[in-house]
Chain A
Amino acid sequence: MTAQPAPQSGSDQGSNINPATQARQRWMAVLARTDHAILEQEWQNHFADVQWSHLREPQIGMVMVRGRAGGAGQRFNLGEMTVTRCAITLSDGTVGHAYVKGRDRIQAQYAALFDAIMQRDDAASDFIETLANRQAEAKRENARKVAATKVDFFTLVRGEDE
């Protein structure tokens, strides 16, 4: 049996978010997926003389992950995940925030630092672009491996119509 897709229903994500916030959401998502070693090295290479202080020291906690019954219905609490958060202030007063999956305090701290740098003057935009491309490439590579397991049905001709 062949099924036909229904027209796409509207997404519940608000589209009234301003472009600056959208850009920030994007780099925060990229930073949340980057190992602390990569962040630390980039910081040491290009931003080591930046003055900053902790607004909130890195802290490990949890987020309760929610789902929806049937994927679209009533909300429910699925279970928790570990999350680390951190907030820092640059000497000019710019505040950087980070919430990242897992328990890596160093990652959270550098993610907050780069968040502040990006808000101040986009000075890490090339770095963020490189990371984003690398993440997209890894995702694509994985999706190609998955695609190799897609079933190609074919119908056997039984000769009854001949």
Chain B
Amino acid sequence: MYVAVKGGERAINNAHRLLAEKRRGDRDVAEIETSQIEQQLSLSVTRVMAEGSLYDRDLAALAIKQGRGDLIEAIFLMRAYRTTLPRFAFSKPVKTAEMDIARRISATFKDLPGGQILGPTFDYTHRLLDFTLMANGEEPATAHTADHPVDETMPRVLDDLLNYEGLIQDEPNPTNDDAPVADLTREAVKFPADRDLRLQNLARGDEGFVLALGYSTQRGYANSHAFVGEIRYGSVAVEIEPEELGFAIDIGDIELTECETVNKFKGSKTKLPQFTRGYGLVFGQNERKSISMALVDRAMRAREMGEQVMGPAQDEEFVMEHSDNVQATGFVEHIKLPHYVDFQGELELVRRMRAEVLERLAKADAADAKNARSQPEAAE
């Protein structure tokens, strides 16, 4: 129970003024512009958009600045902002097969049509601090430009390469587009949850939480040994079909990272052994999240695959109820807010219990003493 407490108004105002001063920091240092955050801290921007569940680079940069770099605070700000906007439409499903590729790799096939495209990656860097980034005036390297662009279309490893031999399970219901799509922003989540709801939940879920669960599946808390069939990062066009137009229009590009995992399946009485799939799709460039999401997606398909649920990552209720960092931080952090009345009640309860115990002990002591007096003295 919470009871309104008055009297903190001046302290709160001053706390917020102090916060503003701390946010600005030393005034001898140039103030950071949101466009600098948007350009130069782009992976923070990406994470805030993904978990804030709102693709808008400028807003994410603003939220990061306002939150002093606390990304969960920034995500909270994005979530709050999105509740103020009307929803115009649902897009047509994005065509990741037609992505303008900025990175595309496969861990299952070395030589594949379109090639292994590394793109802007931290992989193969030495993870040594680069002090040239600290020294002002160092010109950063510019990208090398090849004579020819990357292939315009690249086959998908799972659909076009593996599926050719029937070695991997087809995606269920590929053409059933009359079925409604679950939306956790509009309806309360109910269990058991279908895969559409699970994927939406994971896409906006906390990166650290999803990473840890993905890791747990690799360490044996689920039976889903995974290979990365393909990761692709790049931009895709978003299409909507407004009612007043009656045809689809392209409203611009967004960046996405997609990961498809290939997992073992031993087969059953009716099915030959074949590979199964896990799927991850995230706003922006975020490979770690997309791989983790694919691992957890596959783990949560345990029921569908007739597998025994033996780890937390396979338990959809556990995963989905704890993945949202805005909900989690709200509940965890709320216990720092005034609980004076609650606690007063607890205090009195504990005092009463202690008094009762002490009283009982005192009575018992008195009885012992009386008994001792009435007993004859033991022989010396």
Chain A residues near B (Cβ < 8 Å): 1-6, 9, 17, 21, 25, 28-29, 32-33, 59-83, 85, 87, 97, 99-103, 139-151, 153
Contact = CB atoms under 8 A, between A and B. Distances in A.
Contacts of B93: 66-68, 75
Contacts of A148: 143-146
16 contacts: A1-B111, A4-B161, A32-B252, A62-B54, A63-B89, A66-B92, A67-B94, A69-B199, A71-B260, A73-B173, A75-B179, A76-B196, A77-B181, A79-B200, A85-B88, A143-B100
Contacts of B53: 79-80
B200 A76 contact: yes
B181 to A, nearest CB: 5
A67 B251 contact: no
Nearest to B196: A76
A102 B255 CA distance: 14
Contact of A69 (B91, B160, B171): B171
Given A33-B252, A99-B240, A150-B115, A66 B161 contact: no
A81 B176 CA distance: 25
Given A66-B93, A75-B196, A144 B260 contact: no
Contact of B91 (A64, A70, A139, A145): A64
Chain B interface residue bracket vs A = 35 or more
A69 B203 CA distance: 12
Nearest to A78: B203
Interface string B186-205: 00000000011101100110
A81 B56 contact: yes
Contacts of B102: 142, 146
Contact of B238 (A63, A97, A142): A63
Contacts of A32: 249-252
B237 interface: yes
A151 B118 contact: yes
A80 B96 CA distance: 17
A61 B247 contact: no
Contacts of B160: 5-6
A63 B253 contact: no
B327 interface: no
Contacts of A80: 53-55, 82, 87
Contacts of B289: none
Smallest CB-CB A-B distances: 9 pairs: A73-B171, A101-B252, A143-B149, A81-B55, A29-B250, A147-B146, A76-B196, A6-B164, A70-B171
B307 interface: no
Interface in B67-103: 82, 85-94, 96-97, 100-103
A146 B161 contact: no
B236 to A, nearest CB: 9
Contacts of B54: 62, 79-82
B195 A74 contact: yes
A69 B195 contact: yes
A100 B252 contact: yes
